[in-house]
Amino acid sequence: MDNNYKQKIVQSVPQKGFFGHPKGLFTLFFTEFWERFSYYGMKALLLYYMYYSVSEGGLGLDKSTALAIMSIYGSLVYMSGIIGGWIADRLLGTSRTVFYGGVLIMLGHIVLALPSGTTALFVSMVLIVIGTGLLKPNVSSIVGDVYSEEDARRDSGFSIFYMGINAGALIAPLIVGTIGQEYNFHLGFGIAAIGMFIGLAVFVATKKKNLGLAGTYVANPLAPEEKKKVFTRIGLAVALIAGLGTAGIVTGTLTIDRFVTLVSILGIVIPAMYFIVMYRSEKTTDVERSRLLAYIPLFIAAMMFWAIQEQGSNILALYADERVQLQFAGIELKSSWFQTLNPLFIVTLAPVFAWLWMKLGKRQPSTAKKFSLGLFFAGLSFLVMIFPAYLNGTDSLASPLWLVLSFFLVVLGELCLSPVGLAATTKLAPSAFSAQTMSLWFLTNASAQAINAKIVGYYTEETEIVYFGIIGGAAILLGILLFLLSPKIQKMMKGVN
């Protein structure tokens, strides 16, 4: 979009009114707060809902299937950002796309809130996968639109937004998790639906006043003559996928196992295609090509990091429910509450890290070094989980403090990697593809979870030590490798740091 129009957008947003930030940030903060509340609230219950027996209110799936489904679901939720980016870019603009996304997500939670079985679960998943793909990357990219390019508040705006995400994720397990585990899973999912409804209401009620023109712009609209062709192709593709899917299910060829394999392959193929297309595009300059190559090791590191971080809501959630002494200091803990630890540590430590980077100024580690720190802490967070079984075996329950320590360590890594990675992605992606950079970053997480789906099945009490040991060790090794390569990577980044 041309600069004049960018300025017009910024001028249409009241530039003060939310902690010294543009008023638009209020709308985006609370929309995303409530969306994440619904997502992480649902996620805190979902694993238990899937493998608890029918008499306990669950679906009675076997554990390793439930773990794999969690990963595939998490992967698709972030993979679908590609669709959301495309729809915003070419058809609706970000703001309207966010709205439709929110509606689909809310419907998804409502389906889960109704007391029905496995089919309802899959319907809900489809709605939430598409809905989140429409909402999440786009609400994040509107944050970038409410500041002018030179605005010094920009970075801190993103940090405040990240706090909103985690504040939503923090209270969700305590409310949705508690109600779901204390009373009834469906009631819990119902609260998640109400959360998304509040998010939508905030968005609709305040967007005109606070966001002005931000998000209304369609960056690269489909020309009317293109429309017919593109829609026909999309229609055919959707029909083909639906047809093959139905045929697969009816004939029994499309098993959950095969679906898992399919998504795992997509998790590798999609980012690889992204890189190839960007690298070979005529619009990409030589400097940008070098930056793209530098981005590849960072992408792989981020994948490894999210592979561990995201197991917090499946492997560690299972661990919390089965391996942890939940009677602690006179209270009866709920396993879903452990999901609150990651966002709690993020919210408390994010300001400390912001201060640290500022204090270090020019002496702070380079992006690649921060990524290797991220991997190092993620690796440690798994290695400490060896101890309970190593010290006391798997017959006695572990202290909940081990999990607290593990979540604490992974968050140290997350704060070195996640905000930095998002910023680096926007700077390293070729400018012709800048609109898609949010989705590119979320692909690091999508690919990680796609691969997790293949890995999580190896976790059992018997394999616990080896499982945490190998994955934790691999992350640390990769971290060391990245550290050694970091001067070279930094050079290839051509001035971006």
Q: Which residues of the shown chain bind ligand GLU in the complex (CB under 6 A)?
A: 36, 165, 306, 418, 442, 445
**Type of residue numbered 490:** Q
- CA 476 to centroid of chain Cα atoms: 22
- Per the structure block, which two tokens stand in for 237? 């593709």
The answer to whether 346 contacts ligand ASP (rule: CB under 6 A) is: yes
* Nearer residue to ligand ASP within complex by CB, 166 or 425: 166
Residue 343 binding result from ligand ASP, ligand GLU, none, given CB thresholds of 5 to 8 Å by partner type: ligand ASP
* Nearer residue to ligand ASP within complex by CB, 169 or 278: 169
Look up tokens 């991220």; give the residue.
374
Residue 124 binding result from ligand ASP, ligand GLU, none, given CB thresholds of 5 to 8 Å by partner type: none
Least Å from the CB of residue 415 to ligand GLU: 12
* Nearer residue to ligand GLU within complex by CB, 18 or 161: 161
Least Å from the CB of residue 351 to ligand ASP: 15
The answer to whether 342 contacts ligand ASP (rule: CB under 6 A) is: yes
Least Å from the CB of residue 403 to ligand GLU: 18
Distance CA 90, CA 93 (A): 7
Residue 442 binding result from ligand ASP, ligand GLU, none, given CB thresholds of 5 to 8 Å by partner type: ligand GLU
The CA–CA distances, whole Å, from 300 to 186, 266, 311, 365, 467 equal 38, 15, 17, 19, 20
Neighbour count for residue 332 (Cβ, 10 Å): 7
Residue 436 binding result from ligand ASP, ligand GLU, none, given CB thresholds of 5 to 8 Å by partner type: none
The answer to whether 264 contacts ligand ASP (rule: CB under 6 A) is: no
Least Å from the CB of residue 140 to ligand ASP: 11
Least Å from the CB of residue 160 to ligand ASP: 13
Helix count (H) and strand count (E) of the chain?
Answer: 19, 2
Distance CA 433, CA 275 (A): 11
* Nearer residue to ligand GLU within complex by CB, 157 or 212: 157
Residues written for the chain: 497
CA atoms within a 13 Å half-sphere pointing along the CA-CB vector of 386: 14
Tell me 15's DSSP state. S
Residue 271 binding result from ligand ASP, ligand GLU, none, given CB thresholds of 5 to 8 Å by partner type: none
Find the part of the chain contacting ligand ASP (CB under 6 A) among 14-22, 99-107, 338-346, 365-373.
338-346
Find the part of the chain contacting ligand ASP (CB under 6 A) among 21-29, 129-137, 217-225, 339-347.
339-347
Residue nearest to ligand GLU (CB): 445
Residue 445 binding result from ligand ASP, ligand GLU, none, given CB thresholds of 5 to 8 Å by partner type: ligand GLU
The answer to whether 171 contacts ligand ASP (rule: CB under 6 A) is: no
Are 338 and 320 contacting, i.e. CB atoms less than 8 angstroms apart? yes
Residue nearest to ligand ASP (CB): 169
Backbone angles phi, psi at 332, to 5 degrees: -100, 105
- Per the structure block, which two tokens stand in for 23? 């008023």
Q: Of all helices (H) and strands (E), which one includes residue 92?
A: none
- Of 304, 329, 273, 277, residue with least CA distance to 455: 304
Least Å from the CB of residue 356 to ligand GLU: 20
Least Å from the CB of residue 442 to ligand GLU: 5
* Nearer residue to ligand GLU within complex by CB, 306 or 433: 306
DSSP string over 231-291: HHHHHHHHHHHHHHHHHHHHHT-S-HHHHHHHHHHHHHHHHHHHHHHHHH-TT--HHHHHH
- Using CB under 6 A, pick the residue from 143, 169, 302, 475 that binds ligand ASP: 169
**Type of residue numbered 92:** L
Least Å from the CB of residue 191 to ligand ASP: 17
- Of 44, 34, 42, 39, residue with least CA distance to 168: 34
Beta strands in 129-266 (DSSP E): none
Least Å from the CB of residue 196 to ligand GLU: 14
The answer to whether 40 contacts ligand ASP (rule: CB under 6 A) is: yes
* Nearer residue to ligand ASP within complex by CB, 212 or 374: 374
Residue 52 binding result from ligand GLU, ligand ASP, none, given CB thresholds of 5 to 8 Å by partner type: none
- Using CB under 6 A, pick the residue from 160, 165, 171, 373 that binds ligand ASP: 165
Q: Of all helices (H) and strands (E), which one includes residue 328?
A: strand 327-328
- Per the structure block, which two tokens stand in for 169? 């994720």
Residue 346 binding result from ligand GLU, ligand ASP, none, given CB thresholds of 5 to 8 Å by partner type: ligand ASP
Task: Provide CB contacts within 8 A for 205, sequence distance 6+.
Answer: none
Are 56 and 437 contacting, i.e. CB atoms less than 8 angstroms apart? no
Q: What residues make contact with ligand ASP under the rule CB under 6 A? A: 40, 165-166, 169, 342-343, 346, 414
